[in-house]
């Protein structure tokens, strides 16, 4: 495009060519009106004719023109003219970071390390701004970092500006774009960019890390001229730590560099701002060595002053006669072999109990890892050696290595070409101490000694940096196999399996899944499949990928396991030392081992229950407080209780308890109140709580204490009713005592009557039996007197006596009626105490009727006496005797009535008390029976519920259809079905559905779209009968069918007190 010189494009006149690249050519131009010099990039005609490129060019040009930052080259204008598309940019005449490094390299003059760090810091500031605007560069390299000299002291300062933002996006899909040019420069491409994966701002951070490595060490971490070579090295090979290239670099600068170069994007800095701050912190250290440190750059091809996008990876292409400048460790002494340096050999992670020997070729490729036992190791070309090295430079029996448990001795067996330990040639047949991590050279091979686990230091800086490498893709065919970095090889393996944990520690919150990331490597020579086993933690915590990990030889890949500690007491809080064993399917005896520590966080889940909820008593009541620890850590509970009125006292036995996870304790609880003599029952509500140490608040339960008085209200009412009755009895007794002395003629009868009256008074004091006995004796005495009197009386007297006798019989009938009333009162008392007043009134009426009958009898006797007054004295005496008998009978009737009333009252009282006691006893029995039924029902329901839990496998493994059914518990009323079926070539995962609990059977429904499958399971002995009904849709056209299976439990709950650990099952593939 030199023909454009002198022409005007837009408002710009082209003056000279500044450079050319894969996307176009850069000219120095000048604004025709403003006379301002600019850099004008004209795109290749082939790109300009691409309609897709045209659209992307306009879109990206607008975006980059909006970027305004001191560390970003400003875009003034863009446009199209005569089929040409151009960008107008700020012109910087002091070159690029690449040209600055090359200038110092050609002159052989070092440049300050602080300047190199500050220039990368400025680039990080510019990237941070662009990333904030949603712009990713995709081709960060020294050629795209332009400089402008800054005047004033100190001399030699530059302002850095990043150019060519957005050009990589413009070139996507362009027909002229070559692999490895438009999408980035291979030496600076990130691993995800090499793989063609999605890139974000962290891809720019990786490229910036390559630049930082280059400007601080003078070397590139990798040389790569093609995408395949870049993919292999950026993805699989760990960079040599900068301090192994330059020992005087600050450790924190090395840390920043290696973090930027992490293989996994999430392990790099989250933003370019963080990179800038980290570099500023390095510059701010008061370290005099940093101030005076310099960098000697190595020459590379000179790029154009303004490097266009796609100009090619000039940093990685050596010029004529200049070797590639990839970093190698800087030795302290040259070996005596013509100055050949050992390759960069990373450490193996130390989990072996024995020392190990790495065997590598001249290119640093790992050939073998051998465990060093007490039997020793021999090295040579002959096949009988432990380590066979095929090379003419190696003797048949070249070297012997011995291990005595404390140190390793190496002996040259008189080889032809000798053996080098570090920079020293070993004397023949003389044992020398081989130090940890020292390198021995045998012909073209290198052997490095790795310490055992107990000797390896946790602070090994090289090991820690090697763990940054996490390759994720398979290299292209034909690429030489290299040792995947950061691997941990099992002590009992032959080095065919590598495994490393991303994090040695894993924190588990019960009930929440946590990812466990590890990287597996196939160090063998054949394709292999690997499975992971976990020791030190329950196997059911770990959910593995559905398929075994398949790896090509020399390839490593990330694997993610999901670890979930159930939120149950069995997931005890604390640290678990776990061992992950990766086993080969081709050779199950070989394993790779990695160790880590899992920490299960504690959770508190106390439960408190108070039984019974309500209890009564006159002074106190007894409850039971039940505490359960359903958490995963021991808890200490302090029991307390309170009520709003502060009227109750509480006593717990004991007041404090300690519960292990899953434990339960019942604490007797006595609630006491102040005793009351009279009144009604009082209901007092209270709350029992358990304060848990370390918990936010207590767990509580409510109860009710019904406090009864010592003397119930109904007893007070009864006493108030009995007092008038007793007073009436005393009054009637006194009336009889006044009349009785006038009947002096019947002395014997009077004495008997007085005895009856005395009995009446005694019975008033609730001695009814004495009154009954007195009545019987009175009747006997009256009968004797009656017989004696009638023998001597005339007929008139007999007639009168017969009339009086009839009256007395009527009184006797009244007495019998009173007795019947007493029996009725007893029956009514049993029915209800409320009839007490009616029965008492009935007794009073009976008493009044008896008194009236007595008065009538007295009147009849008086008339008979008046008629017979003129008869014989014997008749008078008989009449008096008869009157005495009648008086006694009347008195007896009154006495009987009073006794009846007293007996009724006493019976009512006793009956009420007995009825109350019986009701209390029956209530207590009913409550006890109810609690027994509830407990039995809960136990039966829990047993029935748990009986379905477990992993049920089809007994007939040859049948098609359902192969397994995993039933798990969600809550007390819900299960989950996780079904698996027979597919080709492996099992299908039907997924998880929720199933409601129904006694006797469970019914779950799967909807597969083309059919609906109903699974009905019932327990039959130790097995489970499963009925699977497939209801096909009309569109499918198949006939509905029912299939019966017999399932047998593989693991799970057999009984509530027996849990069988699950068997490790073959992973299944979800459809």
Annotated active-site positions, please? Answer: 139
The average confidence (pLDDT) of the chain is 74
CATH superfamily name and code, 97-295: Transferase(Phosphotransferase) domain 1 (1.10.510.10)
Quickly list DSSP for 649-700. Answer: EEEESSSEEEE-TT-EEEEEEEEEE---SSS--EEEEEEEEEEETT-SS-EE
Beta strands 699-707 and 1023-1032 are unpaired
Predicted confidence at residue 781, as pLDDT, reads 40
C-alpha 29: how far from its chain's center?
67
Query: For residues 900 and 766, is the Cβ–Cβ distance under 8 A?
Result: no
Q: What is the pLDDT of residues 218-232, one digit of tens each?
A: 889 987 655 566 777
Rounded CA-CA distance 695/292 in Å is 58
Instruction: Among 162-171, 366-375, 833-842, 1008-1017, name the most confident range.
Output: 1008-1017
Backbone angles phi and psi of 479, in degrees to 5: -80, 135
What φ, ψ does residue 364 adopt, rounded to 5°?
A: 90, 5
Q: Is the pLDDT of residue 776 over 80?
A: no
531 or 52, greater pLDDT: 531
Predicted confidence at residue 129, as pLDDT, reads 96
What number of other Cβ atoms are within 10 A of residue 367's Cβ? 16
Output the pLDDT for position 517.
87
Residues 516 and 297: their CA atoms lie apart, in Å, by 42
Confidence of residue 1009 (pLDDT cuts 50, 70, 90): confident
Summarize the confidence of residues 26-53 as an average pLDDT: 87
CA distance 164 to 162: 7
What is the C-alpha to C-alpha distance for residues 648 and 665, in angstroms, rounded to an integer?
24
Comparing 675 with 258, which gets the higher pLDDT?
A: 258
- Which carries the bigger pLDDT value, residue 716 or residue 746? 716
Which tokens hold the place of 947?
């009986």
The answer to whether 488 touches 356, Cβ cutoff 8 Å, is no
Using the predicted structure, report yes or no on whether residue 55 has a pLDDT greater than 60: yes
pLDDT for 743 equals 41
Which CATH code for domain 356-459? 2.60.200.20
Would you list the domain boundaries of the chain? 2-90, 97-295, 356-459, 497-600, 617-698, 718-919, 948-1060
- pLDDT tens digit string along 450-491? 888 644 333 333 333 333 433 333 333 332 233 333 333 333
Structure confidence at residue 916 (pLDDT): 55
- List pLDDT tens digits, range 785-811: 344 434 334 443 344 444 445 544 544
* pLDDT for position 290: 66
Q: What's the half-sphere exposure (Cβ side, CA atoms, 13 Å) at 30?
A: 9
- Report residue 243: phi and psi, to 5°: -75, -15
Contact 895, 775 (CB under 8 A): yes
Average pLDDT over residues 319-345: 44
Closest by alpha carbon to 310, among 144, 460, 490?
A: 144
- The b-or-e profile of 471-488 (16+ CB within 10 A means b, else e) is bbbbbeeeeebbbbbbbb
Q: What's the rounded Cα separation, in Å, for the pair 1066 and 988? A: 12
Answer whether residue 645 shows pLDDT above 90.
no
pLDDT for residue 433? 92
DSSP secondary structure letter of residue 588: T
Judge contact between 775 and 892, C-beta under 8 A.
yes
Percent of the chain clearing pLDDT 90 (strictly above): 34
The domain defined by 948-1060 carries CATH number 3.50.50.60: no
Least confident stretch, 369-383, 652-666, 987-1001: 987-1001
Task: Please report the pLDDT score of residue 1044 as a whole number.
Answer: 93
Q: How far apart are CA 673 and CA 704, in angstroms?
A: 12
Hey, what are 729's tokens?
Answer: 């009895």
- CB burial class (10 A; 0-12, 13-18, 19+) of residue 878? buried
- Give the model's pLDDT for residue 913: 59
Helix (H) or strand (E) holding 449: strand 445-450
Q: How far apart are CA 110 and CA 101, in angstroms?
A: 9
d(CA 1004, CA 984): 24
2-90: CATH architecture? 2-Layer Sandwich (3.30)
Per residue in 379-438, pLDDT (tens digit) is 999 999 999 999 999 999 999 999 988 889 999 999 998 999 987 889 999 999 999 888
Kind plus residue range of the DSSP H or E element containing 938: helix 873-947
d(CA 601, CA 512): 11
List the alpha helices (DSSP H) in 421-513. 461-466
> Which helix (DSSP H) or strand (DSSP E) does residue 332 occupy?
none
Token duo for residue 628:
């359960």
- Report residue 967's pLDDT band, with 50, 70 and 90 as the boundaries: very high
- pLDDT at residue 282 tops 60: yes
Identify the weakest region by mean pLDDT among 46-55, 357-366, 1050-1059. 1050-1059
Which position has the higher pLDDT, 14 or 820? 14
Residues facing residue 72 across a β-bridge: 162
Q: What is the DSSP letter of 330?
A: -
- Residue 102 backbone class (left: φ over 0; alpha: ψ -120 to 50; beta: rest): alpha
In the prediction, which pLDDT does 446 show?
92
| Residue whose structure tokens are 């190791």 | 377
Going by pLDDT thresholds of 50, 70 and 90, the confidence category of residue 685 is very high
Predicted confidence (pLDDT) at residue 212 exceeds the cutoff of 80: yes
Higher-confidence position of 779 and 626: 626
Domains 497-600 and 617-698 share a fold: yes
Mean of pLDDT values over 578-591: 82
pLDDT digit string (tens) for 119-170?
999 999 999 999 999 999 999 999 999 999 998 777 788 999 999 887 766 6
Which architecture characterizes domain 617-698 according to CATH? Sandwich (2.60)
Q: Is the pLDDT of residue 714 over 50?
A: yes
- Report percent pLDDT > 70 for the chain: 65
Lowest mean pLDDT among 282-286, 721-725, 963-967: 721-725
* Helix axes 795-831 and 768-792, enclosed angle (nearest 10): 160
Cβ atoms 129, 67 nearer than 8 A: yes
Q: How confident is the model over 63-88, as pLDDT tens digits?
A: 888 999 999 999 999 999 888 899 99
Residue 442 has pLDDT above 70, yes or no: yes
Mean pLDDT of 728-745: 51
φ and ψ at 302, to 5 degrees?
A: -80, 120
Res. 902: pLDDT tops 80: no
The dihedrals phi and psi of 189, each to the nearest 5 degrees, come to: -80, 145
| Residue 693 Cα to chain centre, angstroms | 21
638 exposed, middle or buried (CB, 10 Å; 0-12, 13-18, 19+)? middle
Residue 552: pLDDT band with limits 50, 70, 90: confident
DSSP assignment letter at 724: H
Segment 291-308, tens digit of pLDDT = 656 666 554 433 332 333
Q: Look at 675-679, 757-761, 913-917, 1043-1047 and tell me which has the smallest mean pLDDT.
A: 757-761
Q: Taking 60 as the threshold, does the pLDDT of residue 885 lie above it?
A: no
d(CA 276, CA 269): 10
Please say if the pLDDT value at position 735 is more than 60: no
Residue 846: band (very low, low, confident or very high) from pLDDT cuts 50, 70, 90 = low
The domain at 497-600 falls in which architecture?
Sandwich (2.60)
The contacts of residue 275 (CB under 8 Å, 6+ apart) are 121, 124, 205, 208, 256, 260, 269
Instruction: Tell whether the torsion through CA atoms of 129, 132, 133 and 137 is positive or negative.
Output: positive
Rounded to a whole number, what is the largest CA-CA distance in the chain?
187
| Closest of 203, 202, 169 to residue 189, by C-alpha | 203
């Amino acid at each position: 495009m030199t023909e454009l010189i002198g022409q005007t494009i837009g408002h710009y006149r082209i003056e000279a060519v500044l450079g050319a690249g894969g996307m176009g050519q850069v000219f120095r131009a000048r604004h025709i009106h403003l006379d301002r010099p600019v850099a004008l990039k004209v795109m290749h005609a082939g790109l300009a004719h691409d309609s897709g490129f045209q659209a992307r060019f306009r879109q990206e040009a607008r975006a980059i023109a909006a970027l305004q930052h001191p560390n970003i080259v400003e875009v003034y204008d863009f446009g199209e003219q005569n089929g040409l598309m151009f960008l107008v940019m700020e012109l910087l005449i002091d070159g690029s970071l690449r040209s600055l490094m090359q200038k110092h390299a050609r002159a052989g003059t070092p440049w300050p390390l602080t300047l190199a760090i500050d220039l990368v810091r400025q680039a990080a500031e510019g990237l941070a701004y662009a990333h904030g605007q949603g712009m990713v560069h995709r081709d960060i390299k020294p050629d795209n970092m332009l400089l402008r000299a800054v005047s004033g002291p100190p001399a030699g300062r530059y302002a850095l500006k990043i150019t060519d933002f957005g050009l990589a996006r413009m070139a996507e899909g362009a027909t002229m774009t070559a692999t490895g040019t438009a999408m980035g420069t291979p030496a600076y491409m990130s691993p995800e960019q090499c793989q063609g994966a999605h890139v974000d701002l962290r891809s720019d951070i990786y490229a910036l890390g390559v630049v930082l490595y280059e400007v601080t060490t003078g070397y590139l971490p990798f040389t790569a001229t093609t995408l395949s070579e870049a993919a292999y090295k950026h993805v699989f090979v760990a960079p040599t730590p900068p301090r192994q290239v330059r020992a005087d670099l600050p450790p924190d600068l090395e840390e920043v560099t290696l973090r930027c170069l992490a293989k996994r994007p999430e392990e790099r800095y989250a933003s370019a701002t963080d990179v800038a701050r980290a570099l500023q912190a390095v510059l701010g250290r008061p370290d005099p060595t940093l101030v005076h440190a310099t960098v000697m750059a190595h020459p590379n091809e000179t790029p154009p002053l303004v490097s266009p996008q796609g100009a090619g990876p000039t940093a990685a292409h050596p010029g004529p006669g200049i070797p590639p400048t990839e970093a190698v460790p800087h030795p302290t002494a040259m070996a005596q072999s013509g100055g050949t340096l050992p390759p960069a050999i990373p450490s193996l992670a130390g989990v072996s109990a024995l020392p190990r020997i790495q065997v590598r070729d001249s290119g640093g490729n790992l050939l073998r890892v051998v465990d060093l036992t007490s039997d020793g190791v021999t090295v040579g070309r002959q096949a009988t050696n432990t380590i066979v090295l095929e090379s003419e430079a190696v003797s048949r029996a070249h070297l012997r290595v011995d291990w005595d448990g404390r140190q390793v001795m190496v002996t040259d067996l008189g080889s032809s070409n000798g053996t080098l330990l570090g920079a020293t040639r070993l004397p023949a047949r003389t044992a020398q101490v081989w130090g940890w991590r020292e390198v021995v050279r045998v012909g073209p091979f290198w052997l490095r000694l790795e310490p055992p686990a107990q000797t390896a230091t946790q602070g090994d800086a090289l090991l820690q940096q090697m763990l940054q490498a996490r390759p994720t893709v398979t290299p292209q065919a034909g690429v030489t196999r290299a040792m995947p970095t950061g691997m941990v090889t099992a002590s009992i393996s032959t080095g065919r399996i590598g495994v490393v944990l991303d994090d040695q520690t894993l924190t588990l919150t019960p009930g929440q899944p946590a990812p466990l990331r590890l990287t597996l490597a196939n160090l063998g020579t054949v394709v292999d499949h690997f499975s992971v086993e976990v020791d030190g933690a329950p196997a059911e915590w770990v959910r593995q990928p559905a398929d075994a990990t398949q790896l090509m030889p020399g390839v490593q890949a990330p694997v993610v396991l999901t670890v979930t500690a159930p939120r149950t007491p069995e997931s005890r809080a604390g640290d678990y030392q776990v061992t992950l064993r990766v086993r080969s399917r081709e050779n199950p005896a070989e394993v790779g081992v990695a160790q880590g520590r899992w920490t299960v966080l504690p959770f508190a889940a106390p439960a408190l229950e108070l039984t019974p909820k309500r209890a009564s008593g006159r002074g106190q009541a007894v409850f039971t407080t039940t505490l359960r620890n359903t958490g995963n850590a021991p808890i200490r509970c302090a029991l307390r209780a309170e009520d709003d009125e502060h009227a109750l006292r509480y006593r717990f036995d004991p007041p404090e308890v300690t519960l292990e996870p899953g434990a339960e304790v019942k604490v007797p609880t006595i609630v006491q109140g102040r005793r009351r003599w009279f009144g009604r029952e009082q209901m007092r509500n209270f709350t029992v709580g358990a304060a848990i140490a370390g918990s936010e608040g207590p767990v509580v339960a409510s109860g009710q204490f019904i406090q009864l008085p010592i003397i119930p209200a109904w007893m007070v009412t009864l006493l108030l009713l009995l007092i008038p009755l007793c007073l009436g009895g005393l009054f009637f007794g006194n009336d009889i005592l006044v009349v009785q002395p006038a009947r002096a003629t019947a002395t014997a009868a009077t004495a008997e009557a007085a005895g009856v009256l005395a009995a009446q008074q005694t019975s008033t004091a609730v001695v009814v039996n004495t009154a009954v006995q007195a009545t019987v004796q009175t009747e006997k005495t009256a009968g004797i007197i009656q017989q004696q009197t009638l023998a001597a009386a005339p007929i008139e007297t007999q007639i009168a006596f017969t009339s009086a006798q009839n009256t007395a019989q009527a009184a006797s009938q009244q007495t019998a009626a009173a007795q019947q009333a007493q029996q009725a009162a007893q029956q009514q008392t049993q029915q209800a105490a409320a009839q007490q007043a009616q029965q008492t009134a009935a007794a009073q009426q009976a008493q009044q009727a008896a008194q009236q009958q007595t008065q009538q009898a007295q009147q009849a006797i008086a008339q008979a006496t008046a008629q017979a007054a003129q008869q014989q004295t014997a008749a008078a005496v008989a009449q008096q005797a008869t009157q005495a008998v009648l008086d006694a009978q009347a008195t007896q009737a009154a006495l009987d009535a009073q006794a009846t009333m007293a007996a009724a009252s006493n019976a009512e009282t006793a009956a009420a008390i007995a009825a109350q006691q019986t009701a209390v006893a029956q209530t207590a029995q009913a409550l006890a029976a109810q609690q027994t039924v509830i407990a039995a029902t809960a136990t039966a329901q829990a047993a029935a519920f748990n009986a379905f839990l477990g992993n049920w496998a089809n007994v007939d493994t040859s049948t098609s259809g359902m192969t397994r059914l995993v039933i798990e518990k969600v809550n007390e009323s819900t299960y989950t079905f996780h079904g698996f079926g027979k597919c080709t070539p492996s099992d299908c995962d039907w997924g998880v559905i929720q199933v409601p609990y129904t006694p006797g059977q469970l019914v779950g429904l799967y909807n597969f779209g083309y059919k609906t499958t109903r699974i009905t399971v019932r327990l039959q002995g130790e097995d489970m009968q499963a009925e699977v009904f497939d209801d096909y849709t009309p569109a499918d056209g198949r006939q509905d069918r029912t299939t019966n299976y017999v399932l047998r439990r593989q693991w799970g709950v057999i009984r509530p007190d027996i849990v069988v650990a699950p068997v490790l099952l073959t992973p299944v593939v979800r459809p």
